[in-house]
């Protein structure tokens, strides 16, 4: 069993259905993949180094009566720091990135809400940016001036696929797909 078969989970069935519904007539998928959820989770693992000692100290302080009324705040803060990387992993397992012959798609079925975001080739930047995050994964930015509130945008408004495996290869696929669909003079 390879990694892709392992990552094919119960969550991916809904993503595949959503992709089939999102495709326009005549549109075909050239590449699809999910974010590397483990690499994304490991980017946030520093929270475990803070969260476990925090939670332990808060539990001891609460048991000894040192933090009477604020105990719940400190305990929940520690629990959230421990849970955040796992929540990130679950969120990534509910995300699918796809390149079609017309656009790039990001599909989500996270927490029961379906969302499809498409970026046509004409709306993309002239050059794509690859940011390596380690473990063979990285971000592929292909659009700018996007709301910083977007889950797939960064703080500068760059937008694209987040935490995908082998982003340089995916960039090449996206460039070839866009090149085929660019009108020639």
So where are the chain's domains?
A: 3-36+95-179, 42-89
What are the phi and psi torsion angles at 5 (to 5°)? -70, -35
DSSP state of 24: P
Instruction: Name the strand (E) or helix (H) holding 47.
Output: helix 46-63
| Burial class of 127 by CB neighbour count within 10 A (0 to 12, 13 to 18, 19+) | exposed
Q: Taking the CB of residue 88, how many other CB atoms lie within 10 A of it?
A: 19
**Residue matched to tokens 């937008």:** 159
Reduced to 3 states (helix: H, G, I; strand: E, B; else coil), residue 140 is: strand
Overall CATH class of domain 3-36+95-179: mainly beta
Beta strands 103-108 and 115-120, pairing class? antiparallel
pLDDT in tens, the chain (185 residues): 344 443 556 667 788 889 999 999 999 999 999 998 888 888 888 999 999 999 999 999 999 989 888 889 999 999 999 999 999 888 888 999 999 999 999 999 888 888 899 999 999 999 999 999 877 889 999 999 888 888 888 888 888 999 899 999 999 999 999 887 655 43
d(CA 119, CA 107): 12
pLDDT for residue 1: 36
d(CA 66, CA 31): 56
Task: Give pLDDT, residue 149.
Answer: 86
By three-state DSSP, how is residue 116 classified?
A: strand
pLDDT at 182: 56
* pLDDT attached to residue 5: 44
Name residue 118's beta-bridge partners.
105
Asked whether the beta carbons of 29 and 98 are under 8 A apart, the reply is: yes
Q: What is the DSSP letter of 153?
A: B
For tokens 């993503």, name the residue: 15
**Residue 161 is encoded by which pair of tokens?**
């696929």
Digit-coded pLDDT (tens) for 113-159: 888 999 999 999 999 999 998 778 899 999 998 888 888 888 888 88
**Apex CA 69: angle with CA 65 and CA 75, to 5°?**
80
Q: Give the count of beta carbons closer than 10 Å to the beta carbon of residue 68.
A: 8
Q: Dmax over Cα atoms in the chain, in whole Å?
A: 77
């Amino acid at each position: 069993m390879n990694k892709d078969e392992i990552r094919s989970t119960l969550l991916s069935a809904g993503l595949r259905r959503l992709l089939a519904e999102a495709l326009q007539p005549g549109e075909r998928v050239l590449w699809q993949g999910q974010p590397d959820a483990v690499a994304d989770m490991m980017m946030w693992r520093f929270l475990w180094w803070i969260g476990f000692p925090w939670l332990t100290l808060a539990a001891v302080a609460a048991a000894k009566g040192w933090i009477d009324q604020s105990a719940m705040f400190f305990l929940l803060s520690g629990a959230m720091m421990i849970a955040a990387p796992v929540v990130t992993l679950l969120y990534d397992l509910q995300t699918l990135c796809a390149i079609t012959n017309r656009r790039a798609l990001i599909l989500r079925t996270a927490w029961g809400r379906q969302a499809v975001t498409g970026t046509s080739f004409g709306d993309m930047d002239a050059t794509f940016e690859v940011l390596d995050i380690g473990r063979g994964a990285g971000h592929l930015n292909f659009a700018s001036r996007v709301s910083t509130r977007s889950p797939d945008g960064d703080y500068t408004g760059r937008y694209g696929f987040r935490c995908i495996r082998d982003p340089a290869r995916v960039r090449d696929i996206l460039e070839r797909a866009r090149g085929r669909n660019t009108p020639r003079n």
